[in-house]
Structure formats: C-alpha cells, structure tokens
Amino acid sequence: MKVKKFQAPTMPEVMKKVKGELGSEAVILNTKTLKARGLFRRFKKDLIEVIAAIDSSVSTQEKVHASKSSQTLNSEKSEAPPNEAIINELKQLRSMIESKNNHLPVREEYEAGYKHLIAQELEPEIAARIVKEFDYKQRAGDAGYQGGMQHLLTEEITNWLKPLPFGHKQFRKTFVHLVGPTGVGKTTTAAKLAAEAVLNQKLNVAFITTDTYRIGAIDQLRTYAEILNVPLEVAYNLKDYEQAREKYKNFDLVIVDTAGRNYRQASYVEELNQLLQFDDDSETFLVLSLTSKYRDMKDIYEKFRLIRISKIIFTKGDETSTYGSGINLLVHHKIGVAYLTNGQNVPDDIEEASPGYLAKKITEGYEHA
C-alpha cells in the first residue's frame, strides 16, 4: 500500500498530481482546505490537500505481465491480494485519518447535517466546526439544544453569527456609499434604501451617482428620484462629487451610487478612493450577489478592503437556494451584513439582516429534521 499527500491551489491541479504519480487506480482517502498562514497570508492562496493511496500490486501489474518468466518465478509474491482485503485496508486507513482530522464530523448521527451544510456550499472546515459545537452541547446536556437536526443547525449557525454586526435600523451617517462589482444590483438597492428612508423614516434624502459608465444608469436612478421626489446629482469627476456633497450636506441621508466595474482591475478601486470621501461622516456598504461563488466573493472583498467597508449588503437572494458562500465570507473576515434583497420590487424586496434569518436560509429544505 502506497499512501501520499498532494497539495495544489485547485482540485483539478491536485488530481492531476495524483494521477501523474499514483495513476488512475488511486483511491482518494481525504481532502481538506489549508488556509494560507503567516505575515503575508493576504498575498497567498489557500491550498487543497488530498491524501491518496494505491495498492503497490496495481502499480506494478503491467510490469508483471510484461515478463512471463518473472511472473512464473514470483507468482506467489507478486499476486495481488483479494479485492475485499484491499477495500478493508483502505477503510481502516481512512478511519485512522478521519479520527485525527479535526475537519470531519465527530458522530455518525450528525453526518446528514454535515452533508446538508456542505450542499449549502459552506466550507468543510466551517461545516464541521458547527456540527462539532452542537455535538458537544448535546453531550453536555444543554437543554437549549433539544430538538430536531434542523433546529440544532439553525440555533448553532445563529450563535456563530451573533458576534458579528447585523442589521441597520438607523442611518447614523449622512453619506452612504454603495460599492461593488458590476451586475450586483447597486442602483436598485440604492432606490430601496431611499424608499425606506423617505416613506418609513420620513428622512430628507438625496441621490448622488458616479455611475457614468453604464448606459441608462443615470436615467434609471433619475426615474427612482422622481418617483420618491428626491433630488439627484451626477458626479463625473472629483470636483462634481465635492460640489454635490456640499450641496446636500444638511440632508438627513445622501445615497451615493457608484459605477460597477471589473473588480479585478486594481485601478477601479483606486479611482473610487480618489473620487469619494470616506470620512467620519460617511459609511460604505459593499454590495455582493448571493449567486456568486465564495472564491469570487473573497477576491472582491480583498480588492475592496482598500476602502473602509462598514457592512455587506447581499443581493439576489431570490435567485439562489444556497447561502453558504455568504456565510463563509462573514465568518472568515468577521464582517456583518446590513441588508438582504430578494427581488427587483422597490421598495418591498429588501429586509434588515439578522443572524437568525441567514441561519434559517441555510437550513431550509433539510430533509432529515
């Protein structure tokens, strides 16, 4: 039995290494994600680690058949063990690895819960830690943790998220910037926030838009401004933006809609830094779509960390059934969520975020509750 550990930035790269060294008959025993560590971890990529094994007799089978005389002389020594024996040996080895691996569920009866979290696209490390936590509380006889698995998962995820800042009951800053990549719904979100402030909080609201790149973006926001009867200023450059801020400085709330550009272009975030004033009289929400993969979310967040981000606004909750990518981002970066949107209707399809709401979205559809 030959067992070896392989590492690479992506799963296809790891599997290529496995196949190249152990061949197509290799058996995968375990996989996990290794987080980048050290002072320069922000500039390093996470690694995928795979432990694979192959029976030595399989790797030498072609050589044995190539030399009949050698096969005759050494038939007893080169003969592969029965398939059942190989399978049992692999099972024992897997069991040994899993017993030492902190990223796996601790009890078999919670395996279904763990698999549900993985299906929701939570990272295996986070899913296992959640399962282990309520497993521990169950063993300790915590009365607050009695109930079905769906209830257990919801309670534990809620507790995990409670330390993070959630919701946004009041606008305490005059200027609110909405930043983020293209196509996440910043303009529609700006209209929803303005409608909430005007209709329910009776605030004096204005719009500033710096989105002069997208065709129709100004007209779209102008339509919302006319419906809500609030003023709108278009800022083509820094001077325009400063003049608009001065004009609206006595308003209760000024929502600044920024252009959505390719976040992979470092110059875009630098342009925002130069154009907008991220001072004590403003707060900035990073708008992200829940339909995005976690890796993309993480890359976007890393790019926008040059700007002082107050909280996240998640959009397009109605276009996905998995919320795990969002949870991964919150847990890893210790950032909270202000709002979640779940449709195009203004002002209806937006609600204040809470740990309990996100936890319920994660456990929705659990079949073993």
Q: How many CB atoms lie within 10 A of CB 260?
A: 22
Mean pLDDT of 331-336: 92
What does the pLDDT read at residue 368? 46
pLDDT score at 365 = 79
- Calpha distance 62→317 (Å, rounded): 54
Backbone dihedral angles phi then psi of residue 367, each to the nearest 5 degrees: -85, -10
Ranges of each domain in the chain: 2-100, 108-161, 175-353
pLDDT bin (cut points 50, 70, 90) of residue 334 is very high
pLDDT of 254 strictly over 90: yes
| β-sheet bridge partners, residue 15 | none
- Bridge partners (DSSP) listed for residue 287: 313
Secondary structure class of 284 (helix, strand, coil): strand
Please report the pLDDT score of residue 358 as a whole number. Answer: 93
Amino acid at 187: T
Compute the distance between CA of residue 276 and CA of residue 347 in angstroms, rounded to an integer. Answer: 26
How far does Cα 23 stand from its chain's mean position? 34
- Confidence check: pLDDT of 70 > 50: no
2-6, 95-99, 181-185, 278-282: which is most confident: 181-185
pLDDT of the residue at 208: 94
Q: Which residues pair with 4 in a beta bridge?
A: 52
DSSP string, 292-352: S-HHHHHHHHHHHTTS---EEEEE-GGG-S--HHHHHHHHHHT--EEEEE-SS-TTTSEEE
The string of pLDDT tens digits covering residues 16-68 is 888 888 887 777 777 777 766 555 455 556 788 888 877 665 444 544 444 44
Distance CA 302, CA 286 (A): 11
More confident residue, 300 or 134: 300
With a pLDDT cut of 70, the percent of the chain lying above it is 73
C-alpha 350, offset from chain centre: 20
Q: Residue 268 — very low, low, confident or very high, per pLDDT cuts 50/70/90?
A: low
pLDDT bin (cut points 50, 70, 90) of residue 69 is very low
Rounded distance between C-alpha atoms, residue 303 and residue 181, angstroms? 10
Read off the pLDDT of residues 270-302 as tens digits, 9 standing for 90 and up. Answer: 666 666 666 778 899 999 999 999 999 998 898
CATH topology of domain 175-353: Rossmann fold (3.40.50)
